[in-house]
Amino acid sequence: MSKKHDAVFDDVLSDLDQPAGQGRGGARFLSRQTRVSDRLSGEVEEKTLRWIDPAEARMWERHNRAYDLLSEDNCRDLIDGIRSQGRQEFPAIVRRTGEAETPYEVICGARRHFAVSWLRANNYPQFRYLIEVRDLTDEEAFRLADIENRDREDISDYERARDYLSALEQYYGSSQKEMAARLEVSPTWLSRYLQLARLPSEIVAAFPSIRDLRELYARQLKPHLGRPAEAEAILAEARALAGRGLEANAVMARLRGAVARPKPKAQGGTVYRRAREESGVRARRKGTMTTLEFADTMSRAALEAAFKQYLDDRFKP
């Protein structure tokens, strides 16, 4: 996915004018030709970049990132980068809302929005939010946001999976095949994320945060959730774990342990028998004691032959 991501966002905004308040005028017109632009509009467009107060933009209601989970800690790299550069280097993608107070909604760029907002609220009022305004349908906005974030580690598997499940119903008539084709991914890859999004709410609540839920976990739990008795055991354990704040690995160990079958203990000992098809007599030794075990159904002849083998072995010269 990284090559596609690079092809979409391969232009660095070098030689970009500083925003107003930092000594220069607004951003100039730049011409960008990207794979997404070609797919969505069918032509190369000249894009208008603007510097705005981040309060003029809100998150698109279908944004694939949980904005309320963003924090100073998980955006620290971006905050420090913008402060060091003196500006935001890459524009967020937005579209118009038609509202006077918040004329834009953010399609791509939630972390940038948070970072600039945090800086302005923490003694850096000169920073402004760099945006690129586009005319996009909801389905186009979904695909554009997905392409930008697909290979980024700072958006969780579960956030991405939840976005896919919602889009499947809203834009693709519940056709996984059509959705996979539009996103240019394999149906199997897409199915795994949809499977994650469909995890029972009890299991989701067992983890400390939705950001800790990984696609791998859904794959590991799937066989058990398909068997009613095992599914109920897992859900009961998940309910017991809710709110305890265990790390993700510990949660998974507990959930899988709820249905783990104990391994049969090795029988040990030595078996004496007349023929291979017979169960024979098993001799076990513990300390100075020896126990002989055999099935009640063994015939006298089979027992005598097995006992003779045992005695010959026991008292061999």
At residue 131, does pLDDT exceed 80?
Answer: yes
Q: Are 129 and 102 in contact (CB under 8 A)?
A: no
Strand 129-133 to 270-272 pairing: unpaired
pLDDT above 70 as % of the chain: 82
At residue 83, does pLDDT exceed 60?
Answer: yes
Q: What is the pTM of this model?
A: 0.66
Q: Are 195 and 188 in contact (CB under 8 A)?
A: no
At residue 255, does pLDDT exceed 50?
Answer: yes
Contacts of 306 (CB under 8 A, 6+ apart): 272, 273, 274, 278, 280, 281, 294, 298
What span, in angstroms and rounded, lies between the C-alpha atoms of 230 and 234? 6
- What are the tokens at 32? 């960008």
Average pLDDT, the chain: 85
At residue 14, does pLDDT exceed 50?
Answer: no
Q: Which of 108, 160, 158 is nearest to 129 (CA)?
A: 108
Q: Which residue has the higher pLDDT, 225 or 46?
A: 225
Q: Which of 131, 144, 38 is nearest to 88 (CA)?
A: 131
According to the model, what pLDDT value does residue 266 have?
60
Q: What is the average pLDDT across 297-311?
A: 89
Q: What are 133-155's pLDDT values in tens digits?
A: 999 999 999 999 998 888 776 78
What span, in angstroms and rounded, lies between the C-alpha atoms of 5 and 143? 12
Q: What are 53-73's pLDDT values in tens digits?
A: 999 999 999 888 889 999 999
